[in-house]
Amino acid sequence: MTTPETPESAPDRVRTVSVRGITARVSVRPGVGPFVNEPPLLLCNGIGVSFEVLQPLVDALDPRRGVVRFDVPGVGGSAPPPAPYPIAALASWVTRLMADLGHQRFDVLGLSWGGGLAQQLAVQSWRRVRRVVLVATGTGMLMVPAHPSVLMKMSTPRRHRDPAYAASIAGEIYGGTMRTDPEKGARLLHSVTRSGPRRGYYYQLGAMAGWSSLPFLRLLRQPTLVMGGDDDPIIPAANPRLQARLIPRARLHLYEGGHLDIVTEAETLVPVVEKFLLAPDHDL
């Protein structure tokens, strides 16, 4: 008797859903084969960009793994919220989004600004979040800060709207291979992603105002992988080292590179993520 072949992957499906009155644009890739009953990986993006910017990361993951991406309200294809929001409210909204998509349990990977959201999800919705991956992210207002010139350039969405400006500052703010190929930053921000209305960017900035994960990092129960680059002008390496020390079940992976290497050098770094997600609980 023959058995049907296990599908190698399922296609991503992009659609819009309404969550608490806000229309959100999401991309869902169902798990297949050995991942069909496993929690999907929720990807939380950096500030001001739509989920397409994470495509190289998704392409480097096991194609059978379930993956969920979304545009933050007010960014990309998601409608703006009626008012600014704190990060705790967004974490509640994301948990509801995942439940509406049929996922009561999930892993989460947060990049940069999305890493703050991932930390909030881990403590606020701890029954839902199985494992956590924090990439190039910090602890909010209480962290080792970037240079003031970098913070100034990050305070506006201009780099998301002006390709020439993005190329001119990419090396300074992102580090890594952007220093020798600054056009890579412009291509990443402009060739595939869409930014949405300006207020969406400022809502994201405002969501983190006054927020810090330092008071609760020791409360995180999940196995956590903390990743950071040794040439990251936005998130100096002292920050992932601190997170890894404070989170009880954390492991640290420092790599040679900059702020966006999980995307630009995905073939090198994503296997580290896969190994962590696949490890038996007793090894974490």
pLDDT in tens, 66-97: 999 999 999 999 999 999 999 999 999 999 99
pLDDT of residue 7: 65
Fold of 13-145+195-283: Rossmann fold (3.40.50)
Q: What is the pLDDT of residue 1?
A: 38
∠ CA 143-56-139 to the nearest 5 degrees?
10
Ranges of the chain with pLDDT below 70: 1-7, 194-195
Residues shown for the chain: 284
Q: Kindly give, in sequence order, each residue whose CB lies less than 8 Å from that of residue 122, ignoring residues fewer than 6 positions away.
A: 108, 129, 132, 220, 222, 224
Residue 9's pLDDT is what?
Answer: 82
Q: Are 73 and 83 in contact (CB under 8 A)?
A: no
Pairing of strands 22-29, 41-44: unpaired
Q: What is the pLDDT of residue 160?
A: 86
In the prediction, which pLDDT does 195 show? Answer: 67
Is residue 158 within 8 A of residue 165, CB to CB? The reply is yes
pLDDT on residue 182: 86
Its pTM stands at: 0.95
The pLDDT of residue 176: 94
Output the pLDDT for position 2.
Answer: 37
List, by residue number, the catalytic residues. 112
Q: How far apart are the first and last CA of the chain?
A: 40
Question: 191 with 273: CB under 8 angstroms?
Answer: no
CB 108 within 8 A of CB 44: yes
Chain mean position to CA 194: 16
CA distances to 29, 44, 99, 238 from 39, in Å: 12, 15, 12, 31
